[in-house]
Amino acid sequence: MEHTAYLGLGSNIGDRELNLLRAVAELGRLPGSRITALSGFYDTEPVGGVPQDNFLNAVLRLETPLAPHELLAELHRIETEVFRRKRTIPQGPRSMDLDILLYDRLVLESEGLVIPHPRLHQRRFVLVPLSEIASGYLHPVLDRSIAELLRDLPEGERVTRI
């Protein structure tokens, strides 16, 4: 059975644009999966209070037979094996961060995985690229479209398309 997942991509170490392009290529190689939409790339200010360089962020839509935990395991594998990510500083700098934002209309809370992503509705750096490819998608918990969530977000956080 095929599922639709929206994935967030972010990088702020090394060649950020090349990192995003490499991640897209790796995600396109997941077994039985295909990328059906990709947002533009956005230069964004870091959130969370850890001093670090700006990120480059994007969102893609992936059609996949992988179950949520299988998909998460593949994302972690790509972060670790391809990008040599080390999780030493929570919300710290990283060459690649891959997150499951949405997965079908699934609502899931399990150890290590929460879908929809628990902070997606508060983050402009996620909502701007997500609205580019899925503005009418209804958040399965808040029952509001991505466009509405973005419109109602308070000013702040700078997100600039490159």
Give the DSSP per-residue string, 55-104. Answer: EEEEEEEEEES--HHHHHHHHHHIIIIIT-----STT---S-EEEEEEET
The CA distance from 136 to 112, in Å, is 28
User: Which residue in 43, 99, 104, 144 is the catalytic one?
Assistant: 99
User: Which residue in 16, 61, 85, 94 is the catalytic one?
Assistant: 94
144 classed as catalytic: no
84 classed as catalytic: yes
User: Which residue in 16, 85, 97, 123 is the catalytic one?
Assistant: 97
152 classed as catalytic: no
143 classed as catalytic: no
User: Which residue in 84, 87, 105, 151 is the catalytic one?
Assistant: 84
**Nearest alpha carbon to residue 64 among 27, 107, 92:** 27
Catalytic residues: 84, 94, 97, 99
